[in-house]
A and B are shown apart, each in its own frame.
Chain A
Amino acid sequence: MTLARGSEKSYASPTMTLSRREFLAGVSAIGAVWLTGAVSCRENTASDADSHAAEPLATDGAPKLVHFSAEDAADVEAITARIFPTDETPGAREAGVVFFIDRSFTTFAADQADFFADGLRNLNATVATLHPGISRFANLSDEQQDSVLRSIETTEFFDAIRFATIAGMFALPKYGGNKDYIGWKLVDQQSVMEYEPPFGWYDHPDNQRTLLGRVL
């Protein structure tokens, strides 16, 4: 008994047996965290990821596309920028998340490229229906984009691109996104790998004395 590869989409439903909501609720149990990956990956993922990482960004320092057309990339970038908008802080656009997603389809998510392309095509069909005369998501205003995304929020494609956007926002920069650790800075996850206490408010000795009457 073997399932067709097409039914295993990490960017789509993260698990085959749990609903997305159940998955999200359960992901913090150590267990479920691997489940995302468990249905996603081709053989040799680690070495793929390494070679993926080793690809030069481009001689002039600007990243280049390896999978998407410029038009598709513009749409994907626009979607990621609605998931992590640029507001008081940088978002997915500044983090270069589109380049992470682009590369993923030549590496660890290669088997999902067709699924993703279909989703993008369907999205633009929706755009054309809702907004006659406009054929690409990227050409809509921010408000129109949000409205279109809300209309597809429960689809596998939206789950997939949201998953991919979050992955690209927080994966190590070597994978193509999270440029200059923009994603990490968003939540104050540091790229320095050493800390000395106190780590936060509660373990500060003064606050320990207030809370516990002593310092542990």
Chain B
Amino acid sequence: MSVQTQPTGRTFRTTDQVDFVVIGSGPAGASVARELTRKGFDVLVLEQGRAYAPEEMEHDELGAFITERWTNSSQTQPQTFRTSEQETAQRRQFVGYAKAVGGTSFHFTGNYWRFRPIDFNEYSVRGGVPGASLADWPITYDELEPYYSAVEWAIGVSGEVSTAPGEPRHSRPYPLPPLNVTGPGVLLARGCEKVGWSHKAAPMAILSREYNGRQRCHNCGFCLGFPCEWGAKSGANHTMIPEALRSGRCEVRSGCTVFRIETNDAGRATGVLYFDADKREVRQSAKAVVLSANGAESPRLLLLSENAQHPNGLANSSGMVGKHFMFNGAALTRGEFEHEVNGHRGPVVSRITHQTYELDESLGFIGGGGYDFRFDVPAMLMALSLPASEPQWGSAFKQRLRSWYNQSLLCYAHTTSLPVESNSVSLDPALKDAWGLPALRTTFREHEHDLAMYKWFQARGRELLDAAGALRMHDDPINTDPGFAVHLLGTCRMGNDPATSVVDKYHRTHDVRNLFIVDGSSFVTSGRGQPTLTIQALAFRAADHIAQFARANQI
């Protein structure tokens, strides 16, 4: 069967004052582009990565995880890391994302959880936490709900609306039935039923049936970290981008590393400066700018765009740009079973439980999460990650790999993480990237309440595995250092007060009237673990309002 190739779209001149320049082609930027072109606007999307053809989308574990074939580069984009503002940051790649047309949805797993009302108002309901800046969102679940449905139907999400207590309202069912249940899914269900927990089909951005001319999932198992050569994963490169291009009003210009958003004396954004693939400096004029570069690169670009009028960086009069970096916490335990689980075939996740979405205050922490069972990585990383208690080489190692690969699975808890002001993205004062720009610096330390919560989740995860019949269990240690971050959230938080937030409830920056920020950086809280659907729903909603402002000449 053939796989659709990308339509070509428009070509704008750099001197054209396009209606909107969107920085980043991930789920946020691509969705804004699709929505704004549908509403009649011209949109230029600038993407630092490139588009990949289906034949390049190999099951290349070395490329996906070791040699950075389609992720951000440690060589051209080095980073630094420290745990507190008093330290000098050391070189370390801490933040990871896909560098390709489609952004991180190019290689995502496709977990498409909605938020619940509590994610938007947990501060009011539960109160604050010392050492954290928990706050309410300026919008509610009900305001976002129509956009959740719109995204689910636009891209094709497979799932089943649950009737369990606490489930949020859905105005429409999922457009597609659940994906095939897998061994880990059956075992999750088994464990949940033994301990009396609810469980449900995982909502996944993967097609269980043909949809909008795209093929269904072929159950190859290579989702997490890999692009989908069939186009069955509903990433932006298979959905929003081709639709935006087909409108005839959109150009996706790849290989463009944006390094400055320009503003004029009136304080308006006038366009952007970027390096093209040959490192030539190019200026693109635009009537308005939408920044969708992800929760790490968006604040970095604002800080890089400092000028005399904006000495602390663009849109940063509050000083909040880059602050409150959140990733979603995790607690992991591997379980080994008697028979073949074969979780490496079929979708990575097929069943989840949200029984632990909201937890009792008496536990001593605020937050919650959910679980899935999965086999998360292919053979190479599996072999590299056998616990120290197991043989590491020789015939015993060879034999162990086979049972580990086929009979084990990972109990994966996905949780909230608290917004802490000192956890941040900033510019490294010394290290430069390949374009001579200050490198991305992360400052991060887990909040003690979050660490207590991860431990609680790990203990409950062991109970779930035990109930499911696990013969042996192996905990991943819970550390104060999360190791690596892929859900990049909270760094340009949304709020009504310009003194404490970066964008308003319509994603317009408080400081620059024609600059909008739409991506994970807008999050006020982290949600329970799977942010992409919410990023995309926010993008659909933002585009609605941005279009209204544009039509009313209010940009």
Q: Which A residues are within 8 Å of any B CB, using their own CB?
A: 1-3, 8, 10, 15-18, 21-22, 24-43, 45-46, 48-49, 82-85, 87, 89, 91, 108, 146, 149, 162-163, 166-167, 169-172, 175, 183-184, 186-189, 193-197, 199-203, 207-208, 211-212, 216
Q: Tell me, yes or no, whether B130 is within 8 Å of chain A by CB.
A: no
Q: A30-B224, A183-B379 are in contact. Are A16 and B183 (CB under 8 A)?
A: no
Contact of B69 with A46 in the complex, beta carbons under 8 Å: yes
Given contacts A46-B67, A84-B397, 12 further A-B contacts (CB under 8 A): A21-B388, A30-B486, A32-B483, A87-B398, A89-B398, A169-B380, A197-B219, A200-B341, A203-B180, A203-B346, A208-B181, A211-B186
**Which residues on the B side are within 8 Å of A28 (C-beta)?**
332, 334, 376-377, 381, 385, 410, 476
The answer to whether A199 and B74 have CB atoms under 8 Å apart is no
Q: Chain B's nearest CB lies how many Å from the CB of A47?
A: 10
Complex Cα spacing A22 to B434, Å: 30
**CB within 8 Å of A: which B44-74 residues:** 58-63, 65-71, 73-74
In the complex, B356 has a CB within 8 A of chain A: no
CA distance A189 to B342 in the complex (A): 9
Complex: A124 Cα to B519 Cα, angstroms: 54
CA–CA, A30 and B69, complex, Å: 17
Say yes or no: A17-B90 contact (C-beta < 8 A), given A146-B394, A201-B341: yes
Number of interface residues of B (CB under 8 A): 96
- Is residue B384 within 8 Å, beta carbon to beta carbon, of the partner chain? yes
Complex interface bits, B329-373 against A, C-beta within 8 A gives 1, otherwise 0: 010101001011111111000010000000000000000000000
In the bound complex, what is the Cα–Cα distance between A184 and B387 (angstroms)? 20
Closest to A109 in B: B67
Closest Cβ neighbor of A7 among chain B residues: B91
Contacts A17-B92, A45-B68, A199-B342 known; A166 to B384 CB distance under 8 Å? yes
Residues of A within 8 A of B479 (CB): 22, 26
Residues of B close to A15: CB separation below 8 A: 92
- B218 touches A (CB below 8 Å): yes
- Chain B residues near A42: list those with CB within 8 A: 75
Known: A31-B96, A212-B190. A16 touches B406 (CB 8 A): no
Q: What are 9 inter-chain pairs, A to B, with CB distance below 8 A?
A: A3-B90, A22-B477, A27-B384, A28-B376, A30-B224, A38-B74, A49-B67, A87-B398, A212-B189
B520 interfacial contact with A, CB 8 Å = no
Q: Separation in Å of the A42 CB from the closest CB of chain B?
A: 6
- Inter-chain contact B73/A33, CB cutoff 8 Å: no
What separation, in Å, do the CA atoms of A162 and B63 have in the docked complex?
18
Closest 6 CB pairs of A and B: A31-B484, A200-B342, A38-B93, A201-B339, A170-B380, A27-B385
Chain A residue with Cβ nearest B342 = A200
Q: Which residues of the partner chain B approach A91 to less than 8 Å between Cβ atoms? A: 398
User: Do B383 and A211 touch (CB < 8 A)?
Assistant: no
Query: In the complex the two chains form, what is the Cα distance from A3 to B381 in whole Å?
Result: 26
Whether B220 is near chain A, meaning CB under 8 Å from some CB there, is yes
- Is B342 within 8 A of A39, CB to CB? no
Within 8 A of A (CB), among B184-242: 185-187, 189-190, 193, 201, 218-222, 224-225, 229
Chain B residues numbered 365-415 whose CB sits less than 8 Å from any CB in chain A: 376-388, 392-395, 397-398, 401-402, 405-406, 410
Flag if A45 contacts B486 (CB, 8 Å). no
Contacts of B345 in A (CB 8 A): 195, 199-200
With A34-B484, A85-B395, A187-B379 as contacts: A200 and B66 at CB distance below 8 Å: no
Contact A202 B380 (CB under 8 A): no
Q: Which residues of chain B have C-beta atoms less than 8 A from A30's C-beta?
A: 224-225, 376, 484, 486
- B278 CB to nearest chain A CB (Å): 14
Q: Known contacts A30-B486, A32-B483; is A189 also within 8 Å of B378 by CB?
A: yes
The reply on B430 being an interface residue by CB < 8 A is yes
Q: Which residues of B contact A26 (CB under 8 A)?
A: 476-477, 479, 483
Q: Are B393 and A201 within 8 A (Cβ)?
A: no
Is B182 an interface residue when CB atoms closer than 8 A count as contact?
Answer: yes
Q: Could you say which of A34, A49, A166, A187 contacts B405, with CB atoms under 8 Å apart?
A: A187
Which of B66, B332, B394, B401 is in CB contact (< 8 Å) with A187?
B401
A203 contacts B385, C-beta separation under 8 Å: no
- B401 and A186 form a contact (CB under 8 A): yes
A203 touches B96 (CB 8 A): no
Contact A169 B477 (CB under 8 A): no
Cβ contact within 8 Å between A24 and B346: no
Q: How far does the alpha carbon of A175 sit from the alpha carbon of B443 in the complex, in Å?
A: 37
Contact at B484–A32, with CB atoms within 8 Å? yes
**Residues of B contacting A46 with CB < 8 Å?**
63, 67-70
Docked complex Cα distance between A45 and B76 (Å): 11
Q: Which chain A residues border B189 with CB–CB below 8 Å?
A: 211-212, 216
- Chain A residues with Cβ below 8 Å from B59 are 172, 193
B139 touches A (CB below 8 Å): no
Q: Give Cα A75–Cα B135 distance, bound, in whole angstroms.
A: 61
Question: In the complex the two chains form, what is the Cα distance from A52 to B337 in whole Å?
Answer: 40
A18 to B477, CA, bound (A): 12
Binary contact readout B251-292 vs A (1 if CB under 8 angstroms, 0 otherwise): 000000000000000000000000000000000000000000
Q: Tell me if A175 and B62 are in contact (CB < 8 A).
A: yes
Given contacts A83-B393, A89-B398, contact A36 B477 (CB under 8 A): no
Closest residue on chain B to residue A197 by CB atoms: B180
B428 at the interface (CB under 8 A from A): yes
- Identify B402's interface contact among A43, A84, A187, CB under 8 A: A187
Q: Which of B183, B225, B406 contacts A33 (CB 8 A)?
A: B225
Given contacts A3-B91, A162-B392, A187-B379, contact A216 B185 (CB under 8 A): yes
Partner of A49, one of B69, B74, B397: B69
Please state if A82 and B393 are interface contacts (CB–CB under 8 Å): yes
A200 touches B340 (CB 8 A): yes
Q: Are A25 and B388 in contact (CB under 8 A)?
A: yes
B190 engages A211 (CB within 8 Å): yes
Docked CA distance A162–B76 (Å) = 27
- When the two chains form their complex, are residues B180 and A29 in contact, meaning their CB atoms are under 8 A apart? no
Q: Do A34 and B93 have beta carbons less than 8 Å apart?
A: yes
CB-CB under 8 A from B319, the residues of chain A are none
Which residues of chain B are within 8 angstroms of A84 by Cβ–Cβ distance? Answer: 393, 397-398
Q: Which residue of A lies closest to B93 (CB)?
A: A38
- Write the chain B residue with the least CB distance to A107: B67
B161 CB, min distance to chain A CBs, angstroms = 16
* B88 CB-CB contact with A under 8 Å: yes
Rounded to whole angstroms, the CA-CA distance of A196 and B183 in the bound complex is 13
B393–A149 contact, CB under 8 A? yes
CB contact under 8 A between A35 and B483, given known A193-B220, A197-B180, A211-B186: yes
Query: What's the nearest-Cβ distance from chain A to residue B83, in Å?
Result: 10
Q: Is the CB of B484 within 8 A of A29?
A: yes
**Chain B residue contacts of A24, Cβ below 8 A:** 384-388
Complex: A184 Cα to B382 Cα, angstroms = 12
In the bound complex, residues from chain A placing their C-beta under 8 Å from that of B190 are 211-212
Taken together as a complex, chains A and B put the C-alpha atoms of A141 and B231 apart, in Å, by 51
Please state if B65 and A188 are interface contacts (CB–CB under 8 Å): no
Given A170-B378, A201-B341, A34 contacting B218 (CB threshold 8 A):
no
